[in-house]
Structure 1
Amino acid sequence: MNKTVQRLLWAGAGVAALAAANSAIFAKAKAQGNPLGGEGRFWPGPYGDLFYARQGKGLPVLLLHGVYEGASSYEWRKNFDSLSEHFNVYALDLLGFGLSDKPRIDYTGQKYIEQIEQFIKEVIKEPCAIVASSLSSAYAVQAAHDLPDLIQNLILVCPTGLRRLSKEPGAKTELAYQLLHAPLIGTTVHNALTSVPSLRYYLMNQTYFDPSYVDDEMIEHYFTVSHQYGSQNAPPAFIGGLLNHSVAAAFPALTQKAIRIVWGREARMTPLSDAEAFLAANARAELSVFDKSGLLPQDEQAQGFNRLVVELLTEDAPRATRTRSKKPQENE
C-alpha cells in the first residue's frame, strides 16, 4: 500500500470518527419540552412549523427571543406568566430554534421578518404589541413599519439594526458562512461553541451582569436546546451576517403608540451607548435602563421589567417620564 492511499485511508477514518463523535453528542441530548407552560401549539409557517406558547386574555402581546446559539422562548420564562395575567401573550420560537422546525435552508433576516408578519396576520389576527430582544428587535421594527395597523406598540430590548448587525455580509463573513454551513465542519464548530464550558463562559461573561444567575439548570437547558437535531442549521447564518437587518429606514418612520427601548446598563456585546442612535433616529422613542443587568434585563430584573411592560401597555396607566439624556431613566 503506497503512502498516498494510506493518507487517504487515515483521513477518511478521521472524518468518520469526527462525524461519529458529532452524532454521539446530539444523541446524548435530552428531549426538549415547552419551558413556559401555557397552551403550546404549532403554526405551519412558510418554511416549517413554528412552535408558540399562548396564555392569558386581552391585548395580544408577542414575545420574540434573541438570535444566538441555543436561543428559544426560554428567554421569557420569568415574564410569560406574569404578563399573561394582564395580556394575551404569545411566545414564538423562531425557525431553527427552540421547538420549531429546523430545516437545512438558507436562513436570512428577510425570511424571519416574513414569518413574523405572517404569524401576526394568521394567528394573532388583531392589533398587538411586540416585545423583542436583540436581533429580533430589528425584525420587529421592520414588521411594525410594514404592518402599522396590526403592530401598535414596540418594546425593544438591547436592539440592533442601526450600529450593530445592520450591514450586508462581506466576503469574509460569506466564507465563514460557507464553512460553517458545511455539514461536518459546521456541526463540529457548533458542538464546540455549545459545549458546557463554552456555554458557561458565554453566559457568565457576555450575557449576564451577575454570573450567579448562571446555574447548572440553565446550562443544561441551553445544552439541550442547542443539541436537538437540526439546531446547527440556523446559527451559521447569524455568524455569517446573513441574519443582519438594517432599520435605518424603518425605525425613523415608526409612528406606534409606544416605542420603548430597554437596556441593561452593564450589557457588554450590545452596550448602552448604542441606545443614543435609536433615540436620535425617532423622536417618539423612549429609553428605560435597568441597573445590575446585562443583555437580558427581562431575566435579571424580571419584576421591574414586567411592571414596565404592564404600565406601557395598559391604556389607563400613567406614561413614564420621557428620557433622552446621557443618564437614562433607571428601573430597579
Structure 2
Amino acid sequence: MQPFAVTNTTDLTASPSQFYTWQNYRCAYEVHQPTNPTSESIPLLLIHPIGVGLSRQFWWRFCRESDNTGQHYSIYNPDLLGCGASDMPHVAYTPNDWAEQLQYFLQIVVQKPVVVVVQGALLPVALALLAAGIALVQKESNLIAGLVLSGPPAWPLITKNSPEWRQRVVWNLLDSPFGSAFYRYARTPNFLRSFSTRQLFASDHAVDAEWLNTLVAGAENPASRHAVFSFLAGFWRHDYGNAIASIQQPTLVVVGETASSISQEGKKETPDERLADYLACLPQGRGIKITGRNVLPYESTAEFVAAIAPFINELSLPD
C-alpha cells in the first residue's frame, strides 16, 4: 500500500473532489454533508454503476434529493478506479479490484460504519467488499452496518457462472482497435439515448439532456473504456448465491416496477419474482418495489430516497 494522501480542490461544503492514493493510483471521491447532521446517523457509501460515461455523478440527483428532504446522513461518493476523476489504468478490472479500493477507502477515509448503497450489477463489488473485510480482520466487517441493493441483477444471472475462457475472449476482442472504434460510437449521444431508452429507463422522457450530457462528458477520455470493457467482458459474472446467503447485515432490496434484464437469463423474470428470489436467500432481507425500471436513483430519485430512508434511519437508532 502507498502512503495516504488527500487533496482538496475547493471547500468541502460545496461537495468538492477529494483524492487519496491507493496502490500508486489517484482515486477521487466527494463527501456530501447534510444541512442538519446528527451524530447518530450512519453515513452512506455509494457504489456507482459501470457503463459508458458513468461515474459518481450518477448519484448527484440522489444526493441533492436526500438533502432537500432533510435526511440526516453524510454521503461518501467515490469514483471507482477507471471512472470519473480517478486514474484510468489500462487493466482488466474485476470486482475484487474495486472492492479492495473501497475497503482501503473505508479504513483510511471513512473510518466508521456505513450503509453500502450499490447500483445494479455492481452488487458483486459489494459482496467482494464484505468478503475482503471478513478475510482481513473480523472487525473490518463491522464497517458495513447494512446494504441497499438498488435494481440488483436478475436472479438467474447473478447465480450463474460465466466461463473464464469466454470472459478472456471478449476482453481480448474489446481490448483491440475494434473495441476502440466501438467505444467511439458507443459514446455518441444517439447511441446513448437509444441504449438508455431500450434498456435502462421506464420513460423515454426521463432520458434527458442532463443524463446524456453527463455520459458524453464522462466518456470523453478514451481510457474510460477499460472499465466499461471489463464489465462487458463479464469478469463480474459468477454464481453469487452462497455469497448473498452469507450476508449477515440487514439488507434492503429495491426493485423497479418495470425492472428488466439485458441478459437472456433474466428475460422471463418478473420484478416480483426477482424480489422474491433475493428475499428468500437473504438472512436479514426486506424488499420494496417503486416506480421506474433499472436506474432507480436517477429515474425515480424522490421515490428511491423515500424508500430507503426508513431503513437507514432504523439502522441509525442507538442500541
TM-score under structure 1 normalisation? 0.77
Instruction: Please say if 1:53 is aligned against 2:30.
Output: yes
Cα deviation for residue 168 of structure 1 reads 3.8
Q: Which residue of structure 2 aligns with residue 83 of structure 1?
A: 66
- Which amino acid is the alignment partner of residue 175 of structure 1? V
Cα deviation for residue 314 of structure 1 reads 1.2
- Which amino acid is the alignment partner of residue 310 of structure 2? E
Cα deviation for residue 53 of structure 1 reads 1.1
Q: Deviations over 1:1-29 (max 9, x none)?
A: xxxxxxxxxxxxxxxxxxxxxxxxxxxxx
Between 1:238-247 and 1:114-123, the stretch displaced more is 238-247
The 4+ residue runs of structure 1 with deviation greater than 6 A are none
Q: Which residue of structure 2 aligns with residue 118 of structure 1?
A: 104
Q: Which residue of structure 2 aligns with residue 18 of structure 1?
A: none
- Which amino acid is the alignment partner of residue 274 of structure 2? D
The aligned length equals 280
Cα deviation for residue 315 of structure 1 reads 3.4
Q: Aligned to 1:171, which of 165, 175, 182?
A: 165
Q: What are the residue-to-residue correspondences of 1:204-243 with 2, within 5 Å?
A: 204-243=197-236
Q: Aligned to 2:128, which of 142, 148, 159?
A: 142
Report the 3-state secondary structure (helix = DSSP H, G, I; strand = E; otherwise coil) of the residue aligned with 1:81.
Answer: helix
Q: Deviations over 1:127-149 (max 9, x none)?
A: 11111101222211332343431
- Which amino acid is the alignment partner of residue 43 of structure 1? Y
Q: Aligned to 2:175, which of 165, 174, 181?
A: 181
CA gap of 1:66–1:50, structure 2 versus 1, over 3 A, is same
The structure that has the greater radius of gyration is 1
Cα deviation for residue 283 of structure 1 reads 3.5
Q: Aligned to 1:107, which of 66, 71, 93?
A: 93
Q: Which residue of structure 1 aligns with residue 153 of structure 2?
A: 160
Residue ranges of structure 1 left out of the alignment (5+ in a row): 1-35, 319-332
Percent identity for Structure 1 against Structure 2: 21
Residue ranges of structure 2 left out of the alignment (5+ in a row): 1-12, 135-139, 263-268
Q: Deviations over 1:231-283 (max 9, x none)?
A: 11221111111133543222112221x20000111122266233332112124
Q: Deviations over 1:184-225 (max 9, x none)?
A: 222111112222211010111211001101123321221111
> Contact 2:119–2:152 (CA<8 Å) still a contact in 1?
yes
> Contact 1:161–1:247 (CA<8 Å) still a contact in 2?
no
> Contact 1:102–1:230 (CA<8 Å) still a contact in 2?
yes
Matches of 1:205 and 1:81 in 2, distance apart? 27
Report the 3-state secondary structure (helix = DSSP H, G, I; strand = E; otherwise coil) of the residue aligned with 1:250.
Answer: helix
Q: Which has the higher helix share?
A: 2
Matches of 1:234 and 1:194 in 2, distance apart? 14
Q: Which residue of structure 2 aligns with residue 192 of structure 1?
A: 185
Matches of 1:163 and 1:43 in 2, distance apart? 37
Report the 3-state secondary structure (helix = DSSP H, G, I; strand = E; otherwise coil) of the residue aligned with 1:280.
Answer: helix
Matches of 1:214 and 1:138 in 2, distance apart? 27
Matches of 1:120 and 1:246 in 2, distance apart? 26
Matches of 2:97 and 2:208 in 1, distance apart? 34
Root-mean-square deviation over aligned CA pairs = 2.3
